[in-house]
Amino acid sequence: MPEHAHPEIARVLRPGGVFGVLWNLRDDAEPWVATLCGLLSSEETASSLASMTPPDAEPYFCAAEGQRFHHEQPLDLDRLLALVRSRSYVITLPAPERDALLADIAKLTRTHPDLAGKPTFTMPYITQAYRTARTV
């Protein structure tokens, strides 16, 4: 809740101190990642960045400036499954649903044209970063 967080962040930063926020989201412009996101029923995707606006933290901070970065995480099936298992919405699924989801993801890596036959692949991400300075 920004209305509680921003005053507290401003309280602990010296005047001119920098406050940064970022989102690291899967790049669902990649077809196999879009399929993965569909399996996960997740809104944590790069397409959601289109509607994202810089944080408004006035009167505590100046106008925010932002930048986007693209990067990739090398994966294999085991690492992808570990990554999926670490998500809270997967952890809290009943075991039969979680097992079915993990099986669907394993099948995706065996059958999707961008992944089939590849022992390793990369997960593309887009990071949206903003920074702003504390006002005096």
Say what the pLDDT of residue 84 is.
95
Three-state SS for 133? strand
Q: Which of 23, 26, 49 has its CA nearest to residue 37?
A: 26
Q: Give the pLDDT band (50/70/90) at residue 50.
A: low
Residue ranges per structural domain of the chain: 2-133
Report long-range pairs for 36-41 (Cβ below 8 Å, ≥24 apart). 36/105, 36/108, 39/101, 39/104, 39/105, 39/108, 40/84, 40/87, 40/89, 40/90, 40/101
Spatial separation of the C-alpha atoms in residues 30 and 34, rounded to whole Å: 6
User: What is the CATH topology of the domain spanning 2-133?
Assistant: Rossmann fold (3.40.50)
* pLDDT tens profile 62-105: 888 999 999 999 999 999 999 999 999 899 999 999 999 999 99
DSSP string, 57-101: -TTTB---EEEEEEEEEEE-HHHHHHHHHTSHHHHTS-HHHHHHH
Strand bridging mode 18-26 / 65-75? unpaired
**pTM recorded for the entire structure:** 0.79
Say what the pLDDT of residue 46 is.
64
